[in-house]
């Protein structure tokens, strides 16, 4: 499910994401796209993002 979550690839994108969510919850998941645990976390984060959007 990681394809449904935005992927930030550089420091500028991370900084912009942090600055743009003053009134929201921001969760950053650092990891690899091919790691099984990271993919499980992506599934959970995707489900939670639907709840909080």
- Please determine, for residue 3, whether its predicted confidence score (pLDDT) is greater than 70: no
User: Is the pLDDT reported for residue 19 higher than 70?
Assistant: yes
Rg of the chain in Å (alpha carbons): 12
Residue 1 confidence (pLDDT): 47
> What pTM does this model have?
0.61
How far apart CA 6 and CA 53 sit, in angstroms, is 14
Distance CA 21, CA 23 (A): 6
Which among 9-13, 28-32, 43-47 has the top mean pLDDT?
A: 9-13
- CA–CA separation, 30 vs 38, rounded Å? 8
Q: What is the mean pLDDT of the chain?
A: 82
How long is the chain? 53
Q: Is the pLDDT of residue 46 over 70?
A: yes
Could you give the CA distance from residue 52 to residue 2 in angstroms, rounded to a whole number?
A: 17
Over residues 29-52, the mean pLDDT reads 85
- Domain membership of residue 17 as a residue range: 2-52
Domain total in the chain: 1
């Amino acid at each position: 499910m990681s394809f449904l979550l935005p992927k930030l690839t550089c420091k500028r994108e991370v900084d912009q994401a942090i600055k743009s969510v003053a009134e929201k919850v921001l969760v950053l998941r650092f990891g690899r796209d091919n790691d099984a645990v990271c993919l499980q976390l992506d599934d959970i984060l995707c489900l939670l993002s639907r709840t909080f959007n």
